[in-house]
Structures are given as structure tokens and as C-alpha cells.
Structure 1
Amino acid sequence: MNQSNYKAHLALLAANIIYGINYIVAKGIMPHKIGPSAFIFLRILGASLLFWFIRIFVKEKIDKSDYFRLIVCGVLGIAINQLLYFHGLNLTSPIDASIIITAVPVMVLVFSFFLLNEKVTSQKLLGVLIGGIGAFLLIWYGNKLSGTSSVLGNLLVLSNAIFYAFYLVYVKPLMKKYKPITVISWVFLIGFIFVIPFGIPDILATNFSEFTLNTYLVILYVVIGTTFLTYLFNIYALSKVQPSVNGSYIYLQPVVSFIMVSLYAYVFGYKEYAQDINSVKIISCLMVVLGVYLISKTPKKRSI
């Protein structure tokens, strides 16, 4: 592994650890401190400002023919995607959300087949089947399990994963044509404009006087860590390694989430999370991880 690839793997490792921690951290202040829509409003606003600060130093224009694709990416890949994710996380278990989101590579495969005409092997189809059953099992039993799980929350997170997977495929032509920071800054700005009608009422209803230092630290973590840094880390990694390698690191998210929920439940005394770890979720997690592994694994070339 050369030095640039080594740094790319470190970037992916850092990004997905940040994502994994985010499930329990972000849920910790919703909805008693801030509503999901207000949280998303602040998240996209903060990240947009940071991206556009970097964008000042990048002189690149967007062709008019690409405006429609940018708008679709901003609306579906940023605004709707993140609104669904935070509203879903608000209603369900951090573990459930982290497992369901690992189905993104499965959906990327499906969208790539229909939109980009990419070939699908029997190994990848098996991965889709196993991962799909795992995600379905988790969602179906969401309202039958104790803990903080819910079917509605799981379905919202699943919908978020679908929109995000579509965005990853649909944005590829833009990423090839322009510098990544140019695309991301515009996509986030468009996403922020779309989220304003949803976020403003929630912002106005938020009692900021009840915010503690912990509340502000969580918001900063989500804006700077989960959004700004992770996107930058992924941009860097995608310039050095294949997208399938990037996708395989999503395996880490449920693992980190399991660890964080266990710490919260058994070390910090958050008893509501103690029942979020059970055999159904462990089996679902293993099935989804196995499915994604089969999809992203590169077949070995036969030696002659």
C-alpha cells in the first residue's frame, strides 16, 4: 500500500468512526433540546458556510446544462435525505439506524444498474438478497422489540438511505466533470434553500435558553465533524481509491454504534438503551454486513 492509499484509508476510517459516533450523539439532544428539522437547518447552514469559505479559493463555473442535475442532487441528496435521516433517528434506535444505513452500497448497486448500466454479477445479486433480508428483518421487528426501536423511524432511515444511494449515483457525472469542492458547495447551498421552509418553524419553536454547553458541543460535532470533515475525508479518499473501497468502510458504522450504545447503557447509565442490543439486531447486522461485503468484494482473477 503506497503512502497516498494509506492516507486515503485513514481518511475513510476517520469518516466512518465519526459517522458511527454520530448516531448516539445526535439522538442525545433530540427532541427535548432541538427538533430534527431545526437540527438539519443548522447542520446544512453551518456546513454550507464552511464549504463556501473553501470555494472562494476555487475558481470554477458550472455549465447551465448541469443546473438541473445540481438541483436534484441538492434537494434529494442533501435536504430530503438528511431530513429523513434525522426524523428517523429521532424516532428509532441508534443501532437500528446504523445497521439500515449500511444498506446504501446495496442500493447504489441497484441504481448503478438502472442509471449507469453497470454490470451485476451473481455474487452481487446474492449480496443484495442477503442484505435486503437483513434490513427487512430489522424494520419488520422494529415495533415488536423492546428498547427505542420503531417501524416508522426505521422506514424513515431506510428512505434516507435510498435517497442517499440515488444521490451517490446521480452525482457521479458532476464529480467527474468538476472539482469535488465545487459540486459539494453548490449541492449544499441548494439543499439549504430547500430545507428553509421545514427548518424555520422548528428553529422558531426552539428554546435556545435551555441549551447547555453539551447541546452546543453536540451541534458543533454534527456540523463540523459529521458533515464538513466527513465530506472532505470522503472527497480525498475517492480521489485515491475505488468507490467500492469507500463503500466497504460503512461496515464500521454499526460496530461503532454498538460500542457507543453499550457505553451509554452500561457505563453512563442510560437504561433506555440497554434493551437496544439483542439477537435480532445482531443477526440483522451480520446479514447486512455480509451482503455489502459480497457486493463490494472484487472477484479474484483466475490464473491460467
Structure 2
Amino acid sequence: MTRTLSDNGAWKGHLAMLFANMVWGIMAPISKTILLTGLVSPVALSAIRIAGGALVFFIMDMILPSSIVKKEKIMRGDYMKLFLASILMIACNQGLYIMGVGLTSPIDATVMCTITPIFTMILAAILIGMPITWMKAAGVAVGLGGALMLVLSDSDSSHGSTNPVLGDILCLAAQFCAALYYVIFKDIISRYSPWTMMKWMFWFSAVTYVPCCLPWLMEVDYTSLPPFVWWSMAYIIIFASFIAYLLIPYSQRLLKPTVVSMYTYFQPVFSALLATAIGIAAFGLTKITATALIFIGVAFVTRSTTDKPQPAKQ
């Protein structure tokens, strides 16, 4: 039986999405640092991320007891849905995003992430008949305004960009794939545990995406990679892929699709905080104002009371 959205335990979903987007906000400058060395290409890094995530899921699935990791039987008709979900949320979203980061700046890539709620709101209205209320629309607009104010206040937003237009388009395409996943796979997410969902999705992506990237993977001289690159890739695999992506289906069981995607507005906040902490930016009045707008936008979407899905008209 499909679970219904409930306020009970919703705070856990909010906390999970906040942590996941903190991890992703930090990942953008980390990924750019790796790519700027010229030792690892964007295609290779995306393949390493997906293959590493699949390997971590495989190892943990083997060693963790069933009391911790639920062993679920997949319905025959759901394998294709899991495969398609893996293409959207793992292969396309991760692959396109890292390739985009390699061409544009981390700041621009973070801006593109804030577009996800707009895609989600439109797709949810078209595909599942979810109404676009004035409060939800206002929340998206206010949150997007805050995110843009935050990232555009950084004068170094163009640093390291080789083809920012193409990079921005790739990052935008990655967020469209994520929004489509949020909306059309909510039903299957309600049937299986987060562990089962992400395990199969990473495995499917590893066997379909990684083989296509072998030429780029073979170009990397792994013996010459400095320690900080290895540690950075470990962060991307363990935190930005394994842990963060495990929190997505968990949150979707507790929150509405547009609420889940609204948390992408927090990514530029954490990027700015990291930049401030290492002394490359100041968290002044402009950034404080932008952060406040993001919080207000999330609150508007969260408090929308007419967000129940309705059957789409045929």
C-alpha cells in the first residue's frame, strides 16, 4: 500500500534534505579543485563518482546485517522503473553536473541548482496534477531571488571557466533530470526503502554509464594523483554520493516533491559559508539578506496547505 504524506516525522525529512544539500554545496568547489589540476577529466570524475558509489553500496549491502539493511524483493515490473530512475537521477544528474562544473565556475553551477524547484513545480502540475498555489509560486520566486543575490555577489564567479555557457546548460539539464525524477518516481519510492532504491539505482548506473567512460578513465595516471585529490574524491563518493543520495528517497517519503527540491536553495548558502571559512569571501550584509530570503522561500513552500496531488486530466 502506498504511504500518504504526513506531518508526523516530517522534521526528519527536512533535516535529511538540509544535510544532503550541505554536502552538495560543499562538493562544487571540491570538484572544481580536482578538475583544475588537469589530472582528472570531468567525464572520468563523474564515472569515478558513480562507480565508487556503487562499490560502497555493494560492500555495505554484503556486510551489514538484515536488521540494519532491509533485504527487499523487487517486483518484476519495478526493475525497469528502477533502471529509468537510475538514468535520470544518477547517470544523467551526476554526469551532466560534474561535466558542467568542469566548464563553468562552481558558483554558476550552484546557481543552476536553484532552478530545480521551478522545474519540479511545473512538472508536478503537468504530470500529477499538483496545483501551483500563489504561496508556492511566491516561495520559489523569493528563494530563487535570494540564491541569485548570494551567488552573484561573488566577484570571482567566472574563475576557472573555460566554456561557461555550455557548462551552465549542462548543469541546467542535470537539474531538469533531478526534477523529473522527484515527480514521476514518487510512487515506487513509497514502496521500497531508501537503501533498496539507491542500491539498485547506483548498480544500474555503474553497468550502463561507467563502461562508456573507460577511455577517459584510462587516461588518468592514478599513481601521480596528490593526496588531496584522493581525499576529495573520497568525500565525493562517500558523502556526496552514498550518504546524500540515500537521504533523497527517505525525504521523499515524508515531504512533498516541491519541498524536497526547494532545499537546493541551501547549496549556495553552504558554498558561501565554506568560502568565508577559508578566507576567500566575506559573509556581509548582502549575503545575510540573501540567506534570509532563502529561508523565507522555503517556509512559503513548506506552509503551502493545498499541495495534495490530483489526478492529471487525460
TM-score bracket, normalised by the shorter chain, equals 0.7 to 0.9
Instruction: Return the TM-score normalized by structure 1.
Output: 0.78
CA deviations over 1:140-160 (Å, ceiling 9, x no partner): xxxxx7534522211111110
CA deviations over 1:37-91 (Å, ceiling 9, x no partner): 1111111112112223444553322223223322221112211221110011111
Cα separation, partners in 2 of 1:109 and 1:68, compared to 1, 3 Å = same
Unaligned runs of at least 5 residues, structure 2: 1-6, 63-68, 151-156, 307-314
Q: Please report how far the alpha carbon of residue 246 of structure 1 lies from its aligned counterpart in structure 2 after TM superposition.
A: 3.6
Q: 2:123 aligns with which of 111, 122, 132?
A: 111
Q: Please report how far the alpha carbon of residue 161 of structure 1 lies from its aligned counterpart in structure 2 after TM superposition.
A: 0.4
Residue in 1 that maps onto 2:66: none
CA deviations over 1:205-251 (Å, ceiling 9, x no partner): 11112201111100100000111111233444444555555434333
Residue in 2 that maps onto 1:20: 25
Kindly indicate whether the alpha-carbon contact (under 8 Å) linking 2:105 and 2:158 is maintained by their aligned counterparts in 1: no
Q: Please report how far the alpha carbon of residue 11 of structure 1 lies from its aligned counterpart in structure 2 after TM superposition.
A: 3.3
CA deviations over 1:169-191 (Å, ceiling 9, x no partner): 12212112222222221111111
The alignment status of 1:177 with 2:228, answered yes or no, reads: no
Kindly indicate whether the alpha-carbon contact (under 8 Å) linking 2:111 and 2:148 is maintained by their aligned counterparts in 1: no
CA separation in 1, counterparts of 2:256 and 2:140? 20
Kindly indicate whether the alpha-carbon contact (under 8 Å) linking 1:105 and 1:292 is maintained by their aligned counterparts in 2: no
CA separation in 2, counterparts of 1:155 and 1:291? 25
Residue in 2 that maps onto 1:34: 40
Q: 2:209 is paired with a residue of what secondary structure?
A: helix
The alignment status of 1:86 with 2:136, answered yes or no, reads: no
Q: 2:77 is paired with a residue of what secondary structure?
A: helix
Cα separation, partners in 2 of 1:196 and 1:40, compared to 1, 3 Å = same
CA separation in 2, counterparts of 1:12 and 1:213? 30
Instruction: Return the TM-score normalized by structure 2.
Output: 0.76
CA separation in 2, counterparts of 1:287 and 1:88? 27
Q: 1:209 aligns with which of 223, 234, 245?
A: 223
CA separation in 2, counterparts of 1:294 and 1:13? 16
Q: 2:166 aligns with which of 126, 135, 152?
A: 152
Amino acid at match of 1:252: F
Identity, % of aligned pairs? Answer: 31
Amino acid at match of 2:174: N
Kindly indicate whether the alpha-carbon contact (under 8 Å) linking 1:46 and 1:223 is maintained by their aligned counterparts in 2: yes
Of 202-211 and 213-222, more deviation after overlay is shown by 202-211
Amino acid at match of 2:196: T
Residue in 1 that maps onto 2:232: 218
Q: 2:270 aligns with which of 256, 263, 270?
A: 256
CA separation in 1, counterparts of 2:17 and 2:149? 28
The alignment status of 1:98 with 2:103, answered yes or no, reads: no
Kindly indicate whether the alpha-carbon contact (under 8 Å) linking 1:75 and 1:191 is maintained by their aligned counterparts in 2: yes
Kindly indicate whether the alpha-carbon contact (under 8 Å) linking 1:103 and 1:292 is maintained by their aligned counterparts in 2: no
Unaligned runs of at least 5 residues, structure 1: 139-144, 267-274
Residue in 1 that maps onto 2:4: none
Kindly indicate whether the alpha-carbon contact (under 8 Å) linking 1:106 and 1:291 is maintained by their aligned counterparts in 2: no
Kindly indicate whether the alpha-carbon contact (under 8 Å) linking 2:13 and 2:251 is maintained by their aligned counterparts in 1: yes
Amino acid at match of 1:26: S
Residue in 1 that maps onto 2:246: 232
Amino acid at match of 2:35: M
Residue in 2 that maps onto 1:198: 212
Of 118-127 and 165-174, more deviation after overlay is shown by 118-127
> Between Structure 1 and Structure 2, how many residues are aligned?
289
Q: Please report how far the alpha carbon of residue 163 of structure 1 lies from its aligned counterpart in structure 2 after TM superposition.
A: 0.7
Amino acid at match of 2:124: S
Q: Please report how far the alpha carbon of residue 259 of structure 1 lies from its aligned counterpart in structure 2 after TM superposition.
A: 2.6
- Aligned-residue RMSD, C-alpha: 3.8
